[in-house]
Structure 1
Amino acid sequence: MQKRWALKQNPDINEVKRISAELGIDEVLAAMLLQRGIQTFEEARFFFRPDMRHLHDPFLMQGMEQAIERIEKAIQTGENILIYGDYDVDGTTAVTVVYSFFRKRYSRIEYYIPDRYLEGYGISTQGIDYAAQNNFTLIIALDCGIKAVDKVAYANELGVDFIICDHHTPGNELPEAVAVLDPKRNDCDYPYKELSGCGIGFKLIQAYAQKNDISFDEVANYLDLVATSIACDIVHVTGENRTLASFGLQKINSNPGTGIKVLMDIAGKTSNYSISDVVFMIGPRINAAGRIDNARHSVELLLSEDMEAAKAKGMLISEKNLERKGHDLAITDEALSMIAADAVMTGRKSTVVFNERWHKGVIGIVASRLTEKYYRPTIVLTHSNGHVAGSARSVVGFDLYEALCGCSDLLLQFGGHKYAAGLTMKPEQVEAFTARFEEVVAATITEQQLIQEIQIDAELKLEKITSKFFRVLTQFGPFGPENVCPVFISRNVSVYGNVSLVGSNHIKMCVHQSGSPLFDCIAFNQGECIEEIRKGKPFDICYTIEENIWREKRSIQLNIKGIRC
């Protein structure tokens, strides 16, 4: 697929020189700080040295006082409390954090994860009925509920109170809950708006601990789970999230909880985890239980303190993950064939594919794969409990949630983020929805947004890549949305020695540039460039810089994202 190379605008050269001198770092690194809005020595220190003291007071969040008071009342009067959470990584980690924290000091508490297939996403009538029938008078809902106006009203009729802890965009009306914790509320002045669902749960227990003189160390013990949610829910790795992720990764790499440690062992990587490693090695395994069977398996694993029991549960989840992979690949192939065989579909600005037999648990993954292939807003639909359920993914810069708002009259419900969403409709609306979604997308998306872009931070001479440069560069992490791993461009580089094709379509080579040291390179899925490279002419590369560890030997490697011969 053709990709655009877009070089970010250079900051003012005088500001670059000032920051470079104040911090004693290369001007290229100073420019990247300015690109991230960091303009002073203090801001740079804050950025390079995350500190727990940078976390915001949880009571700045609208509704937090009411939430803590209601929980305290429930504990004091012996009420039954139900911790309710979504079935994905964010929801299951959130349930684990909040349930584990309160279970240590109160016994009349349980957790509930809705069944993806029988109940669907979010607050369900079945879940509320379960609470009422079993004398639960307080539900703490995590990573869901912000749009559950009717469901919360139903719970109120049954005498069941709700505390909503959500991070999704609210609708026009908030549920009539005891408290609604969501920084995206228009009336919420909480300084950071991009917490994960587990992050909101973390702020809830932080507030309870703060009010009840419980050591923050106990709260911080859950940061490996918070970091996992931040990574896998693809929220911004900026501000407070960056602090939480930074310390959470430290815990993952030094002293992970039993469940996380088991998943690391199964994944075959036991140290040096990055946000990306969490996304690709830990996240899919936690998700697999809810996709194929029941997400309670994931919560049971994450709650486990017994290593042998955790290993048994981890192996079960690993088997579910292998089953998930089988469904994923088969459905992806089928969907790609469906698109390729339809000239009308291939010419659209959006993709909507539907098959009533597809496994609901993997349609989100399939939507992501189709987006990678065709690079346009994509929705994958399948039958679920008499309705049609869908998972949607977007491209950089296009607001998927707003596009779905333009189709809301054809939907039973929908929710999510700018780049990912879920939706439900009646079967008879599929054709009309497909046409409307294409109409909305075609009217609002730009041609540039339909071409995948490589955002390049700076042009760099290879000779500048020293051990000190790399050491400072790593302190820009942890990397993720809104703080992505820096991409550099180097022009007129030359190959040294052999150029090899490895795996199915990857290039392995060594490059240099007019007097620079030699750098090993890997270029994934760019085998089509190998013949041009072998001609020996200089070419341009854009790349990230990473550490390669091979047989305990560490070296700097260039991970090439694009080649222009």
Structure 2
Amino acid sequence: MHGNRWNWCIKPSNELEARAIAEALGISMLTATVLSARGIDRVEEARRWVSSSYILDHNPFEIPDMDRAIERLCRAIQNKEAVCCYGDYDVDGITATSLYCLFLRQQGVNVSVYIPDRQREGYGLNERAIRRLADQGISVILTADCGTTSFRETSIAQQLGIDVIVTDHHQVREPWPVASAFLNPHRPDNRYPFPFLCSGGIAYKLVKALIRSLPDCGSDCEDYSDLAALATIADVVPLCDENRSLVRRGLLQLHAHLRPGLKAVTERLGVHEPWTAESMAFQLAPVINAAGRLAHAKLGVELLTCESMEAGRQIADILVRLNQQRKVIEQQVVEEALQQVGSPEPGAGIVVGARGWHVGVVGIVASRLVERCHGPVAVVAFDQNGHGRGSVRSIEGVDVCQVLQECSDLLDGFGGHSAAAGFQLHEARFTEFRERFSWAVAERVSPENRVPVLAVDAKTHLRFIQPRLIRELDALSPFGVGNPEPVFMASGLEVLEHRTVGDAHLKVVLRQPRSVPVSGIGFRLSWMAEAGLLETRRVDVAFVPELRRWNGLDHVQLRIRDLRPYQPSGVQECH
């Protein structure tokens, strides 16, 4: 997509509303414009949004079946029953499992953990594991990030005398699991006001309801907010409404008290600044994910639940080493996958697969291909018998679960969300699946989403990008899906210097009339210099402003999202 990476557009905002917000809150017009552009156009709403003390906390008992789950778990706690926390092998599943395990252990419950092996067992509940748990005397299975599509497996558990409580957030379809309680905010009868909790968020709400129902339990729900925040960030759910509050509370908990395992990872990674949503997403989460990708996800649970620094350091060393191996494997599979991709049209559905690819990296490889090709991508790893496990990642406007439903007669199973899903497929049906997948995507891709859109919050001049503004914007955090980092654009900039640094990153020095020179960094954008885009006299730049500390002083830096030759006509409003 070199030379035409993005279609830029300006988010519409109301100048009168923005000015009222700026005057009432004592903030800059730029910050007020960002709020207005995000639909936060009333003074009191804006005041709540930027307030560090405002917490949104919905009633957990509005989640369907919460009362049934509490009744069964309270009985298990009182009777000291054997409970198994059965989780998924990604960060959301690992953290939700850890949260349940920590709370139940504190209540004196005989609790065990089961997470299936990604390569040998695959995702979710399976019959062999359930029978093994029954033989061990387990009377309650509490799932974390799985179980929604496990009708057969939950039926077997019921026949064996095990009560199953499903807590999950994947898309719901018939038949529902046979469960004592089925907690999923995507149930069609859901009345919970915010349906976009991840499984770690649901676990937090379940424990909150348990604490409310067990007044002498001796637990404080805030002790688990760091785990809920980690899950929310890693699972890329919208960072608005209650999720934003969960992450803000969790970050405060992280800053006040790091669990031994997380402290060990922090040391091992050489992180010296307090954790932020961004650093957790790009540094911490991949390390924990490495357990389920290349080894066993129980390592992640052990990291989050260990009680000593010695144990934490041992596990952290293993996980950081696994993550380094993951990067090497991922790059190799990406390169091989790109050879299969060729030169697709933007928005086209892409399916790649091969024997020998590591099943632990198919999801992240699919994400990498979406970034490069801007279309829904399915990546399948086949074993020596032709059995394949795949992951799908999508673009805005294409629900990949609906796409997989169109292909369901070819699949051995599937499940997930609108933007990401997993599936099983035999190699003999790969060619037909590729054709069907591409057709189903083509039916859903509109001309508008064939080229990615870069939504700009406001157009500005470089002289207004000052440390005070950047600190103001930080009050809008945490940033992520549903609340992206503010992006600004400046036009007609002169490129004073440019060079390639590190791993294909672009370093520039820019200046606008009546501004001082400002440095900028464009990650993986060195190709722009190679393509000659910086040789034009003036350029437009879309950027995220940030502060970098050097020699004890704060310096403004522009993190470049995109750059193009100067266009006097500007950009259109987003629709």
Aligned match of 2:314: 312
Which residues of 2 match residues 321-332 of structure 1 at below 5 A? Answer: 321-332=323-334
Aligned match of 2:569: none
Amino acid at match of 1:464: F
Aligned match of 2:571: none
Amino acid at match of 1:422: G
2:211 to 209, 212, 234: 209
Partners of 2:103 and 2:492 in 1: CA distance: 56
Superimposed CA distance per residue, residues 90-144 of structure 1 (whole angstroms, 9 cap, x where no aligned partner) = 1011111110011011241111111112211011112211221111111100111
Partners of 2:55 and 2:364 in 1: CA distance: 37
1:10–1:31 CA contact under 8 A, matched in 2: no
1:58–1:203 CA contact under 8 A, matched in 2: yes
Aligned match of 2:184: 182
Partners of 1:258 and 1:187 in 2: CA distance: 40
Aligned match of 1:173: 175
1:36 has 2:42 as partner:
no
Superimposed CA distance per residue, residues 310-365 of structure 1 (whole angstroms, 9 cap, x where no aligned partner) = 1011111222222222221221111112333xx7x779911111112111111111
2:19 to 17, 23, 30: 17
Which residues of 2 match residues 488-527 of structure 1 at below 5 A? Answer: 488-496=488-496, 498-527=497-526
1:86 Cα deviation after fit: 0.4
Equivalent position SS for 2:340: helix
Aligned match of 1:561: 561
1:504 Cα deviation after fit: 4.2
Aligned match of 2:543: 543
Aligned match of 1:376: 375
1:495–1:533 CA contact under 8 A, matched in 2: no
Partners of 2:17 and 2:349 in 1: CA distance: 42
Partners of 1:534 and 1:387 in 2: CA distance: 48
Q: Which moved more, 1:27-36 or 1:388-397?
A: 27-36
1:512 Cα deviation after fit: 2.5
Partners of 1:11 and 1:180 in 2: CA distance: 41
Amino acid at match of 1:154: I
Equivalent position SS for 1:152: helix
Q: Which moved more, 1:143-152 or 1:514-523?
A: 514-523
User: Where in structure 2 are there 5+ consecutive unaligned residues?
Assistant: 566-575
TM-score, normalising length: structure 1 = 0.94
Superimposed CA distance per residue, residues 273-311 of structure 1 (whole angstroms, 9 cap, x where no aligned partner) = 222211221111111111111111111111111101110
1:53 Cα deviation after fit: 4.5
1:22 Cα deviation after fit: 2.1
1:251 Cα deviation after fit: 2.7
Amino acid at match of 2:437: F
Amino acid at match of 2:76: A
Equivalent position SS for 1:545: strand
Partners of 2:503 and 2:298 in 1: CA distance: 37
Partners of 1:66 and 1:254 in 2: CA distance: 34
Partners of 1:499 and 1:366 in 2: CA distance: 30
1:76 Cα deviation after fit: 2.0
Partners of 2:23 and 2:553 in 1: CA distance: 33
Aligned match of 2:412: 412
Partners of 1:456 and 1:170 in 2: CA distance: 35
Aligned match of 1:357: 356
Partners of 1:551 and 1:131 in 2: CA distance: 58
1:3–1:454 CA contact under 8 A, matched in 2: no
Superimposed CA distance per residue, residues 236-278 of structure 1 (whole angstroms, 9 cap, x where no aligned partner) = 1111110111121223334221111111222221323222211
Superimposed CA distance per residue, residues 1-23 of structure 1 (whole angstroms, 9 cap, x where no aligned partner) = 22223323422332222222222
1:216 Cα deviation after fit: 9.1
1:119–1:126 CA contact under 8 A, matched in 2: no
User: Where in structure 1 are there 5+ consecutive unaligned residues?
Assistant: none
Partners of 1:504 and 1:309 in 2: CA distance: 34
2:132 to 110, 126, 130: 130
1:43 Cα deviation after fit: 1.4
Superimposed CA distance per residue, residues 518-561 of structure 1 (whole angstroms, 9 cap, x where no aligned partner) = 32211223334437576572221110011112344322211111
Change in CA separation of 1:321 and 1:527 when aligned onto 2, cut-off 3 Å: closer
Q: Which moved more, 1:195-204 or 1:8-17?
A: 8-17
Change in CA separation of 1:466 and 1:214 when aligned onto 2, cut-off 3 Å: farther
Aligned match of 1:431: 431
TM-score, normalising length: structure 2 = 0.93
1:424 Cα deviation after fit: 0.8
Superimposed CA distance per residue, residues 177-229 of structure 1 (whole angstroms, 9 cap, x where no aligned partner) = 11111111111111111111111111111111112125897221122221111
Partners of 1:394 and 1:12 in 2: CA distance: 32
1:45 to 29, 44, 47: 47
1:252–1:260 CA contact under 8 A, matched in 2: no
1:364–1:380 CA contact under 8 A, matched in 2: yes
1:446 Cα deviation after fit: 2.1
Change in CA separation of 1:199 and 1:53 when aligned onto 2, cut-off 3 Å: same
Partners of 1:35 and 1:217 in 2: CA distance: 41
Change in CA separation of 1:533 and 1:215 when aligned onto 2, cut-off 3 Å: farther
Partners of 1:196 and 1:409 in 2: CA distance: 29
Partners of 1:407 and 1:536 in 2: CA distance: 48
Change in CA separation of 1:56 and 1:81 when aligned onto 2, cut-off 3 Å: same
Equivalent position SS for 1:499: strand
Partners of 2:460 and 2:165 in 1: CA distance: 51
1:264–1:281 CA contact under 8 A, matched in 2: no
1:84 has 2:83 as partner:
no
Superimposed CA distance per residue, residues 395-415 of structure 1 (whole angstroms, 9 cap, x where no aligned partner) = 233222221122122212111
Aligned match of 1:234: 236
Q: Which moved more, 1:309-318 or 1:524-533?
A: 524-533
1:507–1:522 CA contact under 8 A, matched in 2: yes
Aligned match of 1:66: 68
- Aligned CA RMSD, in angstroms, stands at 2.1
Partners of 1:301 and 1:454 in 2: CA distance: 38
Partners of 1:46 and 1:271 in 2: CA distance: 27
Partners of 1:418 and 1:7 in 2: CA distance: 25
Partners of 1:350 and 1:463 in 2: CA distance: 43
Aligned match of 2:155: 153
Equivalent position SS for 1:205: helix
Q: Sequence identity of aligned pairs in percent?
A: 34
Amino acid at match of 2:459: E
Partners of 1:105 and 1:364 in 2: CA distance: 37
1:301 has 2:300 as partner:
no
Partners of 1:326 and 1:563 in 2: CA distance: 30
Which residues of 2 match residues 417-496 of structure 1 at below 5 A? Answer: 417-496=417-496
Change in CA separation of 1:428 and 1:348 when aligned onto 2, cut-off 3 Å: farther
